């Protein structure tokens, strides 16, 4: 991430100084560079948070260890369903949720790729 920021700042500096025919004072260049650097830093933070969020979305929820709150974050799983999942632990396979009628087949199909039983 630091390399990205350094490259972005270098590119930004080059753009600010090379893309204008207007004569600017060093103080004006400094102010414009500070403003652009601030915007680049803000954008870099947003990109980093997006990467973190994306990685979290790719993870699966372990139905044998997840809290009620974590289970409720799964699509279509409410408080009641989360409690049923917890009450019937442990699971050898995720499809036991449907086989044992803890969840409907439709509910299970909706979350099947988001859960694991380890």
CATH code, domain with 106:
1.10.150.320
Is the pTM above the cut of 0.75?
A: no
Q: Which two tokens stand for residue 96?
A: 């036991």
Which tokens in the block code for residue 20?
A: 């204008």
Based on the fold, state whether residues 80 and 103 are members of the same structural domain.
yes
Residues 50 and 20 in one domain: yes
The reply to whether 111 and 74 lie within a common domain is yes
Considering the domain architecture, whether residues 36 and 77 belong to the same structural domain is answered as no
One domain for residues 39 and 77: no
**Domain count along the chain:** 2
- Look up the domain containing 105 and give its range: 61-116
Cα separations in angstroms, 115 against 41, 59, 110: 36, 8, 10
What is the arithmetic mean of pLDDT over 80-104? 96
Q: Is the model's pLDDT at 6 over the cut of 60?
A: no
Q: How many residues in total does the chain contain?
A: 118
pLDDT of residue 80: 97
Please report the sign of the dihedral spanned by the C-alpha atoms of residue 22, residue 27, residue 33, residue 36.
negative
Q: Give yes or no: residues 41 and 81 share one domain.
A: no
Q: What is the mean pLDDT of the chain?
A: 83
The token pair that represents 9 in the structure block: 């700042």
């Amino acid at each position: 991430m630091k390399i990205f920021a350094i490259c972005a700042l270098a590119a930004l500096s080059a753009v600010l100084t090379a893309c204008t025919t207007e004569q600017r004072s060093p103080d004006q260049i400094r102010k414009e560079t500070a403003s652009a650097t601030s915007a680049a830093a803000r954008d870099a933070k947003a990109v980093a948070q997006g990467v973190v969020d994306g990685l979290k979305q790719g993870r699966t929820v372990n139905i044998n260890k997840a809290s009620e709150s974590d289970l409720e974050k799964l699509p279509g799983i409410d408080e009641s369903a989360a409690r049923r999942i917890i009450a019937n632990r442990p699971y050898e396979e995720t499809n036991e949720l449907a086989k044992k009628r803890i969840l409907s087949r439709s509910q299970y199909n909706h979350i099947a790729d988001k859960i694991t039983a380890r």
